[in-house]
Structure 1
């Protein structure tokens, strides 16, 4: 087929008309494009369209606005598959960040370069956290991928958009001495069992605050992570963050008597509250049986850190502390991954890569001693 573009003498621009076979009704299909500044530009677009027609990837221009697609098609399709917390986060990111930037832009006109500029905008002008920016990047990629599947687009520009490098905050963890000082300082606190669980199991805050007695098997000394508490402390979610987050964790022997002590406390408080008790079978709860407000937990945590005179870290860093101490003791990263509930071993290795060089040195030294004996 001879490729040919024509010049519109009235406007001085170039255009082309090309046959694209027949549509589903058997009618002849023609593709027209106008408004190119040069013949070369028109021919480049013509070649691209012919290739798409040949590969059956050509899609008809729809003029569909990206934000309309997100709000009317993509987001509703996710509602049945996502946890309510994740769905609300997606909706908030669309309304507060994507819509103001891409308002009224047609989806097929959004290029990889435009998406890259949006990522830079998020990084430099919004003050969003690293995690929030990554969440929006995932949303963008997923939505454009869906648009390609539904034949609104011929290709996914988000796949070619380079995301700006987000500088990771340096991870802060406690050493063994810090852990012991903190636990000793927290021993008489009403939420001591929370900190003990965090520093022996590596569980997330939301998992600890949603732990039930029926999730603990005292015969096998195992607990099972099966539900979580929402960020605002008002909703118990009958699901975990991911499939891998639903896991079994073997308890350290020293934790068992403390759990049984907590169980006796809960029984006394339930009897005292009588009909005013709201029974969710929670291990960690108020005297009336309701979930603990995460803000109240954090207030205790920061006060006890100051009292113990240990480095100031986030509650989530207790989880990092557990992983770092385990890896430093040569515990297999795959076991650490399963305890933490990571979806992929690469997450564990990437997150705690700073610990691994020390582990490798220890392993090499131990293996050398096994083969050749210790050197004086």
Structure 2
């Protein structure tokens, strides 16, 4: 849910600490990312680029989910998504979780990849000011953000409706 509603990269989401969440402002301070170092040791490092260091926005629903998630954890570690002992999850963990969700819910016919949630976020926000979407996603260029968007049936219908309004 977090990836789909914020456009965060999985490495950014897995690196999040509770202190990165501003529940009052409904924002996430994206200021670090996880990476695999020598011997597959997890490293916390600066985001991918200067533009990747940013403030992302949270929906009201996502704020509620995060608050409930925090309340359910008896021991609060600084890391939001953590193993039992409070350590970071491996970068492959979200893919494992997603496979489990799809296996448990066979009615979900369309299987989006973990990275695909960034594309979903960009596509769902395509009608908005794309420079705002670019900033939230942490892209250096507008063309990169546009690369993440895809055609939708609704979008195609709007094009047809516009052409019909022109009488063409």
Report TM bin, short chain: 0.7 to 0.9
Of 223, 248, 269 in structure 1, the residue corresponding to residue 75 of structure 2 is 269
Q: Which has the higher contact order (CA 8 A, sep 6+)?
A: 2
Q: 1:223 to 1:367 in 2, by over 3 A?
A: farther
Cα RMSD after superposing both structures: 2.8
Encode CA deviations 1:18-40: one digit per residue, 9 max, x unaligned: xxxxxxxxxxxxxxxxxxxxxxx
Q: Secondary structure at the match of 1:219?
A: coil
Q: Does 1:240 align with 2:47?
A: yes
Q: Which aligned pairs between 1:1-376 and structure 2 lie closer than 5 A?
A: 196-231=1-36, 232=40, 234-237=42-45, 239-266=46-73, 268-270=74-76, 279=77, 281-309=78-106, 310-327=109-126, 330-352=127-149, 354-355=150-151, 359=155, 362=158, 365=161
The count of residues paired between Structure 1 and Structure 2 equals 162
Deviation at 1:299, TM superposition (A): 1.6
Deviation at 1:243, TM superposition (A): 0.8
TM-score by length of 1: 0.39
Q: Which consecutive unaligned segments of at least 5 residues does structure 2 have?
A: none
Q: Quote the Cα distance in structure 2 between the aligned partners of 1:228 and 1:360.
A: 36
Q: 1:350 to 1:301 in 2, by over 3 A?
A: closer
Q: Quote the Cα distance in structure 2 between the aligned partners of 1:197 and 1:323.
A: 14
Encode CA deviations 1:58-97: one digit per residue, 9 max, x unaligned: xxxxxxxxxxxxxxxxxxxxxxxxxxxxxxxxxxxxxxxx
Q: Secondary structure at the match of 1:294?
A: coil
Segments ≥4 residues shifted beyond 6 Å = 366-369
Q: 1:210 to 1:264 in 2, by over 3 A?
A: same
The question of whether the paired residues in 2 share the 8 Å contact of 1:223 and 1:248 is answered with: yes
Q: Quote the Cα distance in structure 1 between the aligned partners of 2:23 and 2:33.
A: 21
TM-score by length of 2: 0.82
- Structure richer in helix, relative to its length: 1
Greater Rg over alpha carbons, structure: 1
Q: Quote the Cα distance in structure 2 between the aligned partners of 1:345 and 1:246.
A: 16
Q: Quote the Cα distance in structure 1 between the aligned partners of 2:145 and 2:137.
A: 9
Q: Which consecutive unaligned segments of at least 5 residues does structure 1 have?
A: 1-195, 271-278
Q: 1:100 aligns to what? A: none
Q: Quote the Cα distance in structure 2 between the aligned partners of 1:282 and 1:367.
A: 51
Q: Quote the Cα distance in structure 2 between the aligned partners of 1:251 and 1:298.
A: 22
